[in-house]
Structure 1
Amino acid sequence: MSETADVIVVGAGGLGAATAYYLTARHSLNVMLLDRHGIGSQTSPRAAGMVSCLRKGELMITLIKDACSRIENFTAETGQPLDWVHSGSLKIARRPQDVAVLETDLARGRHMALDVEQVSPTEACDLNPFLKPDGIVGALRIGDDRYFDPAQIAVGFAAAAAERGARLRPDTAVSCVAVAGGRVTGVITADGAITAPVVVDAAGAWTRQVAEESGLRVPLVPTRQQLIVTEPIEGAAATLPMVRIMDAAVYVRPCRGGFLWGVYEEEPRFFDMTALPVNFDIADMPLDMAVLQAAAVAVADQLPVLSTAAIDEFRGGIPTMTADGHHILGPSPDITGFYFASGCNVAGLSIAPTLGALLADWIVDGKPALDLSTMAVTRFAGTEWTEQQLRREAAWQYRHFYGAV
């Protein structure tokens, strides 16, 4: 006889593990959390772990403010460790047109009660001495921003969910979601069937595969993201504000006595997960140091440390990008009981605590506590992108994450 659950969550990254936790902790449901690899082992621990509060829309600012509170209270709530630092950040413009974006950001941030202020290039460099003023024409200080250890979020939520009764099944690939009469009936794995009326597709880079096996097309693209962690550097204090250079799409934060940094490249590499080996692991993703070297050269006047610091770690993950830069969260309109939790757009881990809580409530109550229609998969109805068009739009969203014109 097959196993049964109230909800099956496919994918034990940040979004999936958070959803499983809130389904068990808040709603006491019988939850099974599956992953084709180890729990919390794929893209989530390879993320940058940066929390950017000054987002492009008011909804996202509302969500990320709530996520900040959940990050602060993570250990008290879950009993699991989470190392985080409230460092603040500096958003840097090197072109006049991007200064206008900063001015709009400032107005939005003040309207949403964020701790934001314009600072001069000299003041910005005083706040983070590794930043140099050459070529800087505008800067914004965002005091609410912080960063955390990305390896702890997914495994922490999963462990906390297990303590509350969730069953964790690592190394369990889902071959398809079972559907009968337009309703989810469970999943099929190599180890057999598992019966459940609700399945959450939080499979990260494999989201499309899970959906397409059920006849659903979800327009997102698995996209390579690479970053470097340097060796320790004298003066690289953990409390130094993070730095984001808008037009170059380069980000930097303190990490392990040095810096973690990366770039949202102009021509990112996309992946068709169906074309990769069945046992493909994110750790096997091909990396390209030349991309980071070119980014370091592009910001050498402002961040010369990136060109000189010794490298301790070079890693990457495969987040999912959408054509409009918004997550895909909520139910499928075509299959009752099928929910999405994906399309992280290189910002999924920081907001995972809040989205997991909202999705858990959505599954139980039939609607979320906030209007999340901008994340609904139904927003793509009637839009038939070719794969080439989808990748072009996703690449634009990736490169322009910081709002550069």
Structure 2
Amino acid sequence: MKTTADAVVIGGGVIGCSIAYQLTKKGMKDIVLLEKDAIGYGSSGRSCALVRNHYSNRPTTEMAWKALQMLETFDEETGKNCGFVNTGYIISVPEEKEAGFEHNLKISQEVGVETWEITPQEARELHPLLNTEGITRAAYEKRSGYADPHGLTQSFANLAKRGGCEINQGTKVTRVRHEGGKIRGVDTDKGAVDSPVVIDAAGPWSQGIAEQVGLQLPLHLTRQQIVHFQANFDYGNEYPVVKDIALQIYFRAGGNNIALCGSGVDNPAPVDPDSYKETADTDFIEKIAGLLAKRMPRFADAGVHHTLAGLYTVTPDWNPILDRSDEVEGFHYAVGFSGHGFKLSPMVGLLMAELIADGGFKAMDASPFGLRRFREG
């Protein structure tokens, strides 16, 4: 392992690997990435990997839209594979959620997203398996879909290595060194690295990293469960991804006639990222199976193929923190993605590389994602 670096990235998920890759593109070849387990082992590898743009604020919508366009051209531009599948995306709401729906759709259209309102009947035409009972409004995003969480994370890592980044797996950070208000480097269970720049991209472990330099970030963890249902009929990418606000579920095709289904509802019970149940609970499986069958009746007889659970690292407003510390020079953080990290990751890497190498954001105004929004109210 190197003993010096221009920058150290902590975390080998899709965010950390994207940042490392973009730093090498900025000409910073002396980069070290530290991952305590394996690349993509944490939240990234347990993502449903949806790619969509319907958000309640303009900055996140803009970031998602730019990231989607990067995914569309990723394979051709890099020679790697992100597994992006353009299925289209339907978001549907009940009557009591129509005001928020109109607000979000207007933002998406102003940003330039190829999206428009559709009737419940048109939603059924796009996705013939849908029962639209309880749905009053819906929108369609033509260019959205999903990608491969493992494929994109590994591709970012391989591109970073190709650019000169040293990736150390199975390497746990034990201390972030700082002195005189400046970052000095990190200590690990495999040795020390001296560096003036450290990037906290440790996902569920990011709070612990920040605490090592005396910072408290407004983060909490929530355990999210996903069930893979096995259909007994043909179910594939001809069906759009669906986000159902009325039933609070989302689902997409997963290959081999499997539907991935989750909820995304906050469950802020205390969670230890080093020790939590990594499969779905029986009561959740039963509940989500009933909801999926209500929205897609042909799944009433579907079996459970397998389940998993992962962690969201959530901020108070469910938007990420992309910033550098005012207290400790050289300490940066890309944390709190609240379940949006995968789809935003191409742009997050670029924006953080700009912040570190160029001194500020250029691809878009990402200042609304600063930590001070929570301190100033």
Query: TM tier, shorter chain?
Result: over 0.9
Note if 1:189 corresponds to 2:182: no
- Residue number in structure 2 paired with 1:261: 261
Letter paired with 1:247: A
1:19-40 CA deviation, whole Å, 9 max, x = no partner? Answer: 0001112323310011110112
1:72-151 equivalences under 5 Å are 72-94=72-94, 96-151=95-150
1:207-356 equivalences under 5 Å are 207-256=206-255, 257-265=257-265, 267-273=267-273, 276=274, 280=275, 285=278, 287-298=280-291, 300-356=293-349
Q: Secondary structure at the match of 1:106?
A: helix
1:84-111 CA deviation, whole Å, 9 max, x = no partner? Answer: 11111111123x1212322223322322
Structure 2 residue runs without a partner (length 5+) = none
What percentage of residue pairs aligned between the two structures are identical?
29
The Cα of 1:116 is off from its aligned counterpart by 2.1
On the 8 A contact 2:222/2:267 being kept in 1, the answer is no
- Residue number in structure 2 paired with 1:391: none
The Cα of 1:175 is off from its aligned counterpart by 1.0
Q: Secondary structure at the match of 1:37?
A: coil
For 1:213 and 1:16, locate their aligned partners in 2 and report how far apart those are by CA, in whole Å.
18
Structure 1 residue runs without a partner (length 5+) = 384-405
Q: Rate the CA distance shift 1:131–1:182 in 2: closer, same or farther, 3 A.
A: same
1:148-171 CA deviation, whole Å, 9 max, x = no partner? Answer: 111111111011111111101001
For 2:298 and 2:173, locate their aligned partners in 1 and report how far apart those are by CA, in whole Å.
44
1:18-29 equivalences under 5 Å are 18-29=18-29
For 2:343 and 2:132, locate their aligned partners in 1 and report how far apart those are by CA, in whole Å.
29
On the 8 A contact 1:79/1:160 being kept in 2, the answer is no
On the 8 A contact 1:243/1:252 being kept in 2, the answer is yes
- Residue number in structure 1 paired with 2:47: 47
For 2:129 and 2:177, locate their aligned partners in 1 and report how far apart those are by CA, in whole Å.
54
- Residue number in structure 2 paired with 1:376: 370
The Cα of 1:129 is off from its aligned counterpart by 1.6
Which deviates the most, 225-234 or 63-72? Answer: 225-234
TM-score normalized with structure 1 length? 0.87
Point out 4+ residue stretches in structure 1 off by more than 6 angstroms.
none
On the 8 A contact 1:135/1:302 being kept in 2, the answer is no
For 1:305 and 1:332, locate their aligned partners in 2 and report how far apart those are by CA, in whole Å.
52
1:255-282 CA deviation, whole Å, 9 max, x = no partner? Answer: 1132111012354544144xx5xxx5x7
- Residue number in structure 2 paired with 1:387: none
- Residue number in structure 1 paired with 2:198: 199
The Cα of 1:118 is off from its aligned counterpart by 2.1
Letter paired with 1:101: G
The Cα of 1:286 is off from its aligned counterpart by 5.5
TM-score normalized with structure 2 length? 0.94
- Residue number in structure 1 paired with 2:64: 64
Q: Secondary structure at the match of 1:381?
A: helix
1:313-371 CA deviation, whole Å, 9 max, x = no partner? Answer: 21121120000111011201110000001111101011101110110011011111132
Aligned positions, number:
375
